[in-house]
Amino acid sequence: MSHTPEPHPAVETVDAVALAERLAVEGVRGLQVGWVDNNGIVRSRVVPTGDLEAALRRGVGVTAVFAVFDSHDGITFAHEGLATPSGDVRLVPAVDAPSDVVALAGQPGLAWAHGRQVAADGEPWPYCQRTVLERTVARLADAGFEARAGFEIELYLSREGEEGALLPAHRGPAYSANAVRDAEDFVVGLLGDLEANGLRVGQVHAEYGGAQVELALAPLDPLAAADAQVLARQTIHATARDHGLRASLAPLPGPDVAGNGWHLHTSLLREGRNALTGSGPHGLSDVGRGYVAGLLRELPGVVAVTAPSTGSLLRRRPHYWAGAYGVWGVENREAALRLVPPSRLLGEEVTNVELKACDASANPYLAMAVVLAAGLAGVQEGLTPPEPVQVDPGGLTDEERAAAGVAPLATTWEEQRRHLLASELVREVLGEDLLGAFVACRDADAAWAADRTDAEVLGSLRWLY
């Protein structure tokens, strides 16, 4: 006899019958429960609306080896903890209120809910990425802090030509009204679909790269920000399809196009106020200086989680606004860490730190967790950052960089792997099991890419995210 998992506690707060009836009235036939794997790929299961109550109570079964899927849907058994194809876990919708189920604009008939992975008996499962972020948020609270975070999402917008050729959907110039006019139907449709899906954006514009578009999601608490990023992806793809377009969110869609960053902005709050803001240099408090210093110290290990893929490493180059060097700067867009300071116009609450070396191949829950944990460690240890770098580090000579203590971030998996495994902070945040699975996935991707050209590697990742 199979064991029936215990009901998820959240189901007690949701009237599943009323929710199913509401969805039926809205024409929803299925609930898509999604999660993000260790490659940044959104996976999902679709549950008929009539089975909603059972899904909320017991989740749906998924194979445990999803934790060791690589970016090409290969399964690696190199991680000892998941070395066989045996074992199932439960994917439970993270639904604490009816508003957590979103009828998808652009995908009529489907609704969306984010999922949490638990063991078959309902106990926590060490490979659940969402749970990692929940633990980190709890650690922040224990230290007296909340956090706010938001993603800036860059994408390459194209029409597909013959033999898969990418035809740009706008002709530029960068940041121009002409470019927006070229993609006007998509832009207007995207704004409407984002609003309908409950997502707030600060702005949408044509970015610097050819056929590139960027949208900035409004800051939220960390879990809500990661959830918003995942739902925004589904919205972007659906809107693009509805207008005969295709959006690539990959770190580098091809050798000859601009790379896409998903820049992560974070800040700490204490008693409802921005705790990074103060009277020190650059408008930082002691907390702010510690936060920057902690992130800077842990950066080599952090970026192995926030920009982890073979595409990420090919994108990481100077003069590319990709954060190629491990430095911080005040409003310096070539620095891996860009401080956005307070100002008379924007006020004191705006202070935040932007991580440039972050992209769509990162699991957003893991990326958020390691960033917040690194910053918190700097605060708790009372660290102080060095002087900011206010020039393009790539424009300095080797001697000038050495004198300033400026070092490049890893551009090969071998080097990035060493940094990842050497980071005690990342190891603690992810846990030994999840870290082992994560490294196994990256090893498998690197092995797949070893005998292939850069163009082949980038082409294989172009539509994954």
pLDDT in tens, 83-103: 999 999 999 999 999 999 999
Percentage, residues of the chain above pLDDT 90: 92
On whether both 197 and 287 belong to a single domain, the answer is yes
The pLDDT score that the predictor gives to residue 10 is 47
On whether both 266 and 389 belong to a single domain, the answer is yes
130 located within any domain: no
pLDDT over threshold 50, residue 122: yes
For position 447, which CATH number holds? 3.30.590.10
> pLDDT band for position 1 (50/70/90)?
very low
DSSP H or E run through 448: helix 432-449
Residue 182, helix vs strand vs coil: helix
What is the extent of the structural domain holding 59? 9-125
On whether both 150 and 249 belong to a single domain, the answer is yes
> pLDDT band for position 160 (50/70/90)?
confident
The per-residue pLDDT for range 396-411, each reduced to its tens digit, is: 999 999 998 899 999 9
Residue that is last in its domain, among 125, 144, 176: 125
Are the C-beta atoms of 10 and 16 separated by less than 8 Å? no
Residue 154, helix vs strand vs coil: strand
Residue that is last in its domain, among 88, 105, 125: 125
> pLDDT band for position 105 (50/70/90)?
very high
Residue that is last in its domain, among 80, 97, 125: 125
> pLDDT band for position 335 (50/70/90)?
very high
156 located within any domain: yes
The per-residue pLDDT for range 220-258, each reduced to its tens digit, is: 999 999 999 999 999 999 999 999 999 999 999 999 888
Average pLDDT over residues 46-70: 96
For position 63, which CATH number holds? 3.10.20.70
The pLDDT score that the predictor gives to residue 349 is 94
Bridge partners of residue 332, in order along the sequence = none
209 located within any domain: yes
On whether both 266 and 350 belong to a single domain, the answer is yes
On whether both 183 and 161 belong to a single domain, the answer is yes
Average pLDDT over residues 102-117: 96
Smallest Cα–Cα separation from 276: which of 291, 293, 298? 291
Can you give the pTM of this predicted structure?
0.95
1 located within any domain: no
Average pLDDT over residues 179-197: 97
On whether both 227 and 85 belong to a single domain, the answer is no
pLDDT over threshold 80, residue 178: yes
pLDDT over threshold 90, residue 166: no
270 located within any domain: yes
324 located within any domain: yes
Residue 349, helix vs strand vs coil: helix
pLDDT over threshold 50, residue 437: yes
The pLDDT score that the predictor gives to residue 320 is 87
The pLDDT score that the predictor gives to residue 7 is 44
Give CA–CA dist 27/22, Å, rounded.
9
Tokens standing for residue 265: 């902005």
Average pLDDT over residues 192-213: 95
Domains: count for the chain = 2
User: What is the overall mean pLDDT for the chain?
Assistant: 95
On whether both 155 and 91 belong to a single domain, the answer is no
Give CA–CA dist 73/5, Å, rounded.
28
On whether both 87 and 226 belong to a single domain, the answer is no
Question: Sign of torsion, CA 179 185 188 194?
Answer: negative
pLDDT over threshold 90, residue 2: no
20 located within any domain: yes
According to DSSP, residue 107 is labeled: S
On whether both 305 and 432 belong to a single domain, the answer is yes
Lowest mean pLDDT among 162-171, 178-187, 237-246, 350-359: 162-171
On whether both 278 and 331 belong to a single domain, the answer is yes
On whether both 192 and 309 belong to a single domain, the answer is yes
On whether both 399 and 309 belong to a single domain, the answer is yes
The pLDDT score that the predictor gives to residue 348 is 92
331 located within any domain: yes
Find the distance separating the first CA and the last CA of the chain, reported in whole Å. 39
The pLDDT score that the predictor gives to residue 6 is 46
